[in-house]
Amino acid sequence: MTHPGFVDLHTHGIGRYDTRTRNPEDILRIAGLHAAAATEAFLPTVYPAALAEMRSNMEAVRRAMEMQVYHKSWTAKTESPIIAGSRQEARILGVHLEGPFLNPARCGALDKKAFVRPSLSAFKELISGYEGIVKVITIAPEIPGALRVIAHCRARGIKANMGHSDATYEEAINGKKAGAMGITHLFNAMGSFHHRKPGLAGLGLIDEDLYIEVIADGFHLHPATLELIFNRKRLDRIILVSDSVKGIKGTKPAVREGILAGSGITLADSYKVLKVIGVPEAEIVEAAVDNPKRYLALK
């Protein structure tokens, strides 16, 4: 593969490490493992938990980002290959908060006991001091109070994704009107598409503005569904994500009580899956490199 490195906006962990940590070295190890799989940059994605615990996880990410900046600066001054050259880490772009303002009815593999009713006070308590690193937050738009939080995110420059949601089509449209700009792992952890009730999944598939995350491992979405997405959705709005979690070996996801519990893939694996089903290489690269950069307004 000769294209630029992948950009993964939704990964909880990889190998033996994940974002449930207070240790910035764990985040840097995740960065190293992703870099080894051709990922250039990523958003460590924090699980819903008690607000204090989520903040401690964000602190680990913030410190890891500072360490990367220091290593890059130190290496540039000394021209030493020891720090940056040997670390070979994917760049940490900030943090994606998957929750805690989610719908318990669509918790998927997440701990619904950690979900919180959306409010501006809870949101401010969650991100206070971390405003500069929170890039994306996933919110269920149908929960009372969610639209105000989404609007506040838009005003603060934080991308609000709709997800882990039981929203009707109309409720999803209201989320978009409030300022939501994306949808977290389309079709997964949301109401099923129905010909009379298209819901959040239907809006994500047909809307011309909303970005959609897509887990292309061949399990979270059937290959035919992946073909449908690439044939129907506006190409510059598709974002490939791994949704990877620690402890999974191989590309087959873990299953807990009949529910898919994250993946063990990297975007390099998604690249291979999509190539096999016939998606053109240029389209895959756009979804795995260009579109996530566009979504975060990266240069």
Look at residue 248 and tell me if it is in a domain: yes
DSSP the chain: --SPPEEEEEE-EETTEESS-S-HHHHHHHHHHHHHTTEEEEEEEEPP--HHHHHHHHHHHHHHHHHHHHHHHHHHHHT-STTHHHH-PPEE--EEEE-SS--GGG-TTS-GGG-----HHHHHHHHTT-TTTEEEEEE-TTSTTHHHHHHHHHHHTPEEEE-SB---HHHHHHHHHHT--EESSTTTTBPPP-SS--HHHHHHHH-SS-EEEEE-SSSSS-HHHHHHHHHHS-GGGEEEE--B-TT--SSSPPEETTEE--B---HHHHHHHHHHTT--HHHHHIIIIIHHHHHTT--
Residue 185 neighbours by CB under 8 Å, 6+ apart: 10, 163, 213, 214, 215, 220, 241, 243
Per residue in 29-70, pLDDT (tens digit) is 999 999 999 999 999 999 999 999 999 999 999 999 999 987
**How far is Cα 126 from Cα 50, in angstroms, rounded to an integer?**
9
Report the domain count for the chain: 1
Out of 26, 243, 269, 290, the active site residue is: 243
- Going by DSSP bridges, is the β-strand pair 95-98/39-46 parallel, antiparallel, or unpaired? parallel
Please state the length of the chain. Answer: 299
Look at residue 74 and tell me if it is in a domain: yes
pLDDT value of residue 4: 67
Look at residue 161 and tell me if it is in a domain: yes
**How far is Cα 286 from Cα 270, in angstroms, rounded to an integer?**
13
Residue type, 57: N
pLDDT value of residue 84: 39
Model pTM score: 0.93
Where residue 128 sits, what CATH number does that domain have?
Answer: 3.20.20.140
For the chain, the farthest-separated pair of C-alpha atoms sits apart, in whole angstroms, at 64
Q: Is 8 a catalytic residue?
A: no
pLDDT value of residue 190: 96
CB atoms within 10 A of CB 173: 16
Residues of the domain holding 196: 6-295
Look at residue 179 and tell me if it is in a domain: yes
pLDDT value of residue 65: 97
Look at residue 1 and tell me if it is in a domain: no
Per-residue pLDDT of the chain (299 residues; tens, 9 = 90+): 455 699 999 999 999 999 999 999 999 999 999 999 999 999 999 999 999 999 999 999 999 999 998 776 544 454 443 333 345 899 999 999 999 999 999 998 899 999 999 999 999 999 999 999 999 999 999 999 999 999 999 999 999 999 999 999 999 999 999 999 999 999 999 998 989 999 999 999 999 999 999 999 999 999 999 999 999 999 999 999 999 999 887 777 777 767 777 788 999 999 999 999 999 999 999 999 999 999 999 86
